[in-house]
Structure 1
Amino acid sequence: MVAMRMMVAAAVGVAATLVPETLAQVSKAEACETEVDASKVQLREGTMNSKVLRAEYAVRGPLLLRALEIEDDLRSGTGDYPFSRIVKCNIGNPQSLGQKPISFTRQVLSLVMNPELMKDRSTTSYPSDTYERAEQYLDAIGSIGAYSESQGVRLVREEIAAFISERDGGVRAHSQDLFLTAGASEAVKTLLTLLIRDENDAVLIPIPQYPLYSSLTALMGGYMAEYYMGEEDNWAFDIEEVRRAIRAAKDLGKTVRAIVVINPGNPTGSKLTEEDMREIVSFCLEENLILMADEVYQKNIYRDDDTFTSFRSIVQKMGLLSEEGIMQASFQLASFHSTSKGVVGECGLRGGYVEMLGFPRAVIDQFYKLSSIGLCSNVPGQIAVGLMVNPPREGSPSFAQYEEESMAVFGSLKRRAAKLEAALNAMPGVSCKPLEGAMYAFPKIELPESFVAACLDRGQSPDVAYALELLESTGLVVVPGSGFGQREGTYHVRTTFLPPEDVMEDVLERFKAFHLSFMEKHAQAAQETQ
């Protein structure tokens, strides 16, 4: 007992010495140090869930960890780097790179978070409609500090249903088909939890893809059936390639149960045609597949002559969904949306939803049960979804400011997309397909053969080595293409165009200077070895 007390006292003493330091100031090595013999503890490297070890998420992988180490060095004045700041172009996190939040969203949220502000409206300068919306939400939830229904606040689900109906030409949507989740990611995870029974269940996933899908499929113990998007044809959907992928999976004894489609594309920035979408729906009917439609970038479409088309509207046009929003065929569609993208960019609030069409009541009940295990998604995020899908209407006090702010964000994103595309295509050995939507570019880089060979000899993916050298030379954080998937023998990186326009100019200059120097260096090295 005395020994135990001494151990506890020692632990408390160690903890006390760490109190003044932030977690960011504690290095990875320091945080993991222990005097305990690791071979004797229950949970260690050899006893962890092997499915977790197989799951990878490159967007926040080793490259970002190295960037955080460099950031600590820059902050503390240690280390010698040819730059003064890190620019994180690795993830679609708009507000972390300076995108301003929409005033209406924050004003309503602030009132809901602190209802005392509504007692004396002279304490704020908010438009009158922000108070009205806040009162509606408070009437619906009572307090933002209380759990909501596990399916989500009914008022917000009704707002989403009205938004979907208006977006899709009046085809009715139903609040009972909707689940509010902690970002779209949580909805994807819940559906895959229901879907994947064992290693013989497969999901068709596009290559390249947002690694949420590959990592969750691995985590659930399922099989990822890869189908390649056509890079040479601007990352087009190729039905014959999908047929090849499903045949290959079936030859391995797999049961293919769903197909993931990301539109607009992440990481490619491409957009499907309506013809492609009809072909996908027909293929799902033919093979009895669930269509998982990732549509979180539906507000990020930059071609002047184009607008977003939902898979839901295509299904209705094909006669599978009635105008009352009732599925008329043996077809299942799960559509995902999020507050993290578009012009709102509220990633940290973790708001999202899924609409489940064509699923039997028994499945909805089990989805509800899984949601109930987590009690509910965070309520501020739910409110943020409501504010995204039901913005101020024309004639309301907040409308002019909302429109001005939204168009400013969208216009800037559109300009940055064009600048990035042009800058990448002007670099030798780099090709970038048109950036039609989303927030990313996925350029192909023709790396020098000698560099590729040297990387492969030491067991390192060449695109990882390129991205790491880019980071160490410029402070720019991108994601190697191998983290998203790419055809063998091709190399890419994914970069966002989210830095503010003045910073974006600096980013492009840094990238260009590095790439030219990199290519020249390896060209000289190749000549010297000849």
Structure 2
Amino acid sequence: MAPPPSPSFTSVLTATESVSSAGPSVAPARGAVVSAIPTRTPRKAIHIDTINQHLRQADYAVRGRLAIRAEELRVRLDAGDTTLPFREIVNANIGNPQAMDQKPITFYRQVLSLVQYPQLLDSEYADRIFPPDALARARLLLREIGSVGAYSQSQGVPYIRQSIANFIAARDGFPADPASIFLAGGASSAVSSLFTTICNGPSTGVMIPVPQYPLYSATLTIENATAVPYLLDESTQWGTDTAYIASVVRNTLASGINLKAMVVINPCNPTGSCLTPSQIKEIINLAAENSFMIIADEVYQANIYQGKFFSFKQMLRELQRDFPGAYDHVELASLHSTSKGMVGECGQRGGYIELLGLDPAVIDELYKLVSISLCPVVTGQVLTELMVNPPREGDASYPLFKEEYDTIYNRLKERAANLYDAFQQMEGVSCQKPMGAMYLFPTISLPPKAIAEARRRGEEPDELYCMQLLNSTGVCVVPGSGFGQVDGSYHFRTTFLAPGDEYVNKIVAFHKEFLEKYA
């Protein structure tokens, strides 16, 4: 028997009105005095026990206890406190390039300023201030968009989706369909929309790597779905072991969990590792054999310091070409963002998701969901177009663009190497070489006394280490326990965005003192 139809908003309202009008009207006459004295004990309608309890259970260590403490210390420094043993806070806890010393790329900001204030295009000084290709790009975007102050299509501006499709096709060597692309307010927004669409209660399982970026575990907790961890192998540059992952899949299905998706972060946050083409194809094989979707978080695809980036889209299309029909049912969602790479425009909130192989009816529901928020920020969409379609050789802006881009890249690569070298000198610390992304994730061997002290305080041992590092040096990192790690192992994640060697030297000196303190 089919379930009864849900009542419409109108029918509910009508029923409510009928009940309220069953007796004589009690509405006060206009101008009458109504008593405001409550007849019951006053109470809050919204309090901690009546909010969404799944939200209470969610953890997001990147902006958790350590970050809150760092802000408290920053306030004290700004107020002139001279009692602290440092003079600045170094936020190595979050990949936020322009909060450090990374400057915006000139061409991007020129075009953004023109689309924000189109009157500049008609200024007699426009040709003196802006290069001709920036003026031309702004005029083109305004012609396609109208005004950045107006709503766009919920899926994103069609012209921008076509630019993204062109970028993907050039990157992978296979065509891309703009109809399969959704603009988003950063990759995080795209993840949230995707999980809201595919998750259907605790029986829904989504595999996430350990260690993982806690966006995924937190969002799954809020959606009341089940996170299924799979361990990355630290001994092989945080690689994936296909046989082990296959066993996780089998055990998950045997437990009655409906495994719907597997998250892969490549290049990886927090470890900085990168997958090889064969590793990617092995994961696609697992997805094809077990019918789960792959969610490929590829926001660090420009942050490659060794080797080359290979996308899941390219590897899937190669398998579909080489084995006709065998992989046509594979579902893939790929994410990209303006927050990382050499763009570093975290606050602009631009990004996109490309969907392959999904049921059109599911995509319709996703479209409905994003339509509820009307549209992604249009200036974020503009920045996404600039990211995927930068100045080319021969354009007036190209020489400066290339200089700025290469400077940012080389600086990141150099800082990663310097930080890695420092970790190599620290007793009881081991770290994988930086391959990609913006982070290092060293293992730290903590003394038994430090572990016991952490347990006494009700803390994780690596959290104790990171909190004492912050209080002693002003350097804020994130304990490995916030990302997940093998039991009995301890790590921390740090960015290598901060300038100079001073904060690196502080970490080295603190570590030595910490070991002596708990020897």
Q: What is the TM-score normalised by the length of structure 2?
A: 0.90
**Offset of 1:454 from its aligned partner?**
2.0
RMSD of aligned residue pairs (Cα, Å): 1.9
Distance change in 2, residues 1:3/1:439 (3 Å): farther
Distance change in 2, residues 1:238/1:327 (3 Å): closer
Partners of 1:83 and 1:327 in 2: CA distance? 60
Which residue of 2 is the match for residue 493 of structure 1? 492
Structure 1 residues 6-155: aligned runs within 5 Å:
40-78=43-81, 80-123=83-126, 124-155=128-159
1:256-300 Cα shifts (integer Å, max 9, x gaps): 110000000100000111110110000000110100000000000
1:80-101 Cα shifts (integer Å, max 9, x gaps): 2100010100001000111011
Does the 8 Å CA contact 2:320/2:326 hold for their aligned counterparts? no
Which residue of 2 is the match for residue 18 of structure 1? none
Which residue of 1 is the match for residue 315 of structure 2? 314
**Count, aligned residues:** 483
Which residue of 1 is the match for residue 343 of structure 2? 344
Partners of 2:510 and 2:168 in 1: CA distance? 45
Partners of 1:360 and 1:415 in 2: CA distance? 45
1:369-391 Cα shifts (integer Å, max 9, x gaps): 11100000100100000000000
**Offset of 1:320 from its aligned partner?**
5.7
Which residue of 2 is the match for residue 296 of structure 1? 299
Structure 1 residues 362-381: aligned runs within 5 Å:
362-381=361-380
Partners of 2:338 and 2:374 in 1: CA distance? 20
Partners of 1:172 and 1:255 in 2: CA distance? 32
Partners of 1:79 and 1:54 in 2: CA distance? 38
Structure 1 residues 440-455: aligned runs within 5 Å:
440-455=439-454
**Offset of 1:455 from its aligned partner?**
1.1
Does the 8 Å CA contact 2:288/2:327 hold for their aligned counterparts? no
Q: Which amino acid aligns with 1:213?
A: Y
Q: SS at 1:179's partner residue?
A: strand
Partners of 1:441 and 1:106 in 2: CA distance? 30
Q: Please tell me whether Structure 1 or Structure 2 has the larger radius of gyration of its CA atoms.
A: 2
Partners of 2:113 and 2:232 in 1: CA distance? 43
Partners of 2:251 and 2:448 in 1: CA distance? 31
Which residue of 1 is the match for residue 391 of structure 2? 392
**Offset of 1:328 from its aligned partner?**
6.2
Partners of 1:498 and 1:327 in 2: CA distance? 43
1:305-356 Cα shifts (integer Å, max 9, x gaps): x111111110111126999xx9961110000000000000000000000000
Structure 1 residues 253-272: aligned runs within 5 Å:
253-272=256-275
**Offset of 1:47 from its aligned partner?**
1.3
1:71-121 Cα shifts (integer Å, max 9, x gaps): 001111236210001010000100011101100000000000001111025
Which residue of 2 is the match for residue 10 of structure 1? none
Does the 8 Å CA contact 1:327/1:357 hold for their aligned counterparts? no
Q: Which amino acid aligns with 2:60?
A: Y
Gaps of 5+ in 2: 1-32
Which residue of 1 is the match for residue 434 of structure 2? 435
Which residue of 2 is the match for residue 230 of structure 1? 233
**Offset of 1:365 from its aligned partner?**
1.0
Q: SS at 1:318's partner residue?
A: helix
Partners of 2:139 and 2:322 in 1: CA distance? 35
1:242-269 Cα shifts (integer Å, max 9, x gaps): 1232233234321111000000010000
1:379-408 Cα shifts (integer Å, max 9, x gaps): 010000000000001101011111110000
**Offset of 1:3 from its aligned partner?**
10
Which residue of 1 is the match for residue 5 of structure 2? none
Q: SS at 1:47's partner residue?
A: coil
Does the 8 Å CA contact 1:315/1:321 hold for their aligned counterparts? no
Does the 8 Å CA contact 2:319/2:327 hold for their aligned counterparts? no
Which residue of 2 is the match for residue 410 of structure 1? 409
Percent of aligned pairs with the same amino acid: 46
Does the 8 Å CA contact 2:316/2:327 hold for their aligned counterparts? no
Q: Say if 2:503 is the partner of 1:507.
A: yes
Q: Which amino acid aligns with 1:335?
A: S
1:231-250 Cα shifts (integer Å, max 9, x gaps): 01110111122123223323
Name whichever structure is richer in helix by fraction: 1
Partners of 1:521 and 1:232 in 2: CA distance? 30
Gaps of 5+ in 1: 5-36, 524-530
**Offset of 1:2 from its aligned partner?**
11
Does the 8 Å CA contact 2:181/2:354 hold for their aligned counterparts? yes
Q: Say if 2:183 is the partner of 1:180.
A: yes
Does the 8 Å CA contact 1:316/1:322 hold for their aligned counterparts? no
Q: SS at 1:296's partner residue?
A: coil
Does the 8 Å CA contact 1:321/1:328 hold for their aligned counterparts? no
Structure 1 residues 160-179: aligned runs within 5 Å:
160-169=164-173, 171-179=174-182
Partners of 1:78 and 1:411 in 2: CA distance? 37
Q: Say if 2:279 is the partner of 1:280.
A: no
Partners of 1:245 and 1:521 in 2: CA distance? 41
Q: SS at 1:415's partner residue?
A: helix
Partners of 1:161 and 1:416 in 2: CA distance? 33
Partners of 1:267 and 1:295 in 2: CA distance? 13
Distance change in 2, residues 1:341/1:188 (3 Å): same
Partners of 1:260 and 1:378 in 2: CA distance? 26
Partners of 1:469 and 1:360 in 2: CA distance? 50
| Larger displacement relative to structure 2 (287-296 or 447-456) | 447-456
Distance change in 2, residues 1:392/1:156 (3 Å): same
**Offset of 1:494 from its aligned partner?**
0.4
Q: Which amino acid aligns with 2:313?
A: R
| Larger displacement relative to structure 2 (456-465 or 414-423) | 456-465
Which residue of 2 is the match for residue 217 of structure 1? 220
Does the 8 Å CA contact 1:208/1:486 hold for their aligned counterparts? yes
Which residue of 1 is the match for residue 27 of structure 2? none
Partners of 1:328 and 1:492 in 2: CA distance? 38
Which residue of 1 is the match for residue 473 of structure 2? 474
Distance change in 2, residues 1:116/1:249 (3 Å): same
**Offset of 1:58 from its aligned partner?**
0.5
Q: Which amino acid aligns with 2:511?
A: H
Partners of 1:476 and 1:247 in 2: CA distance? 42
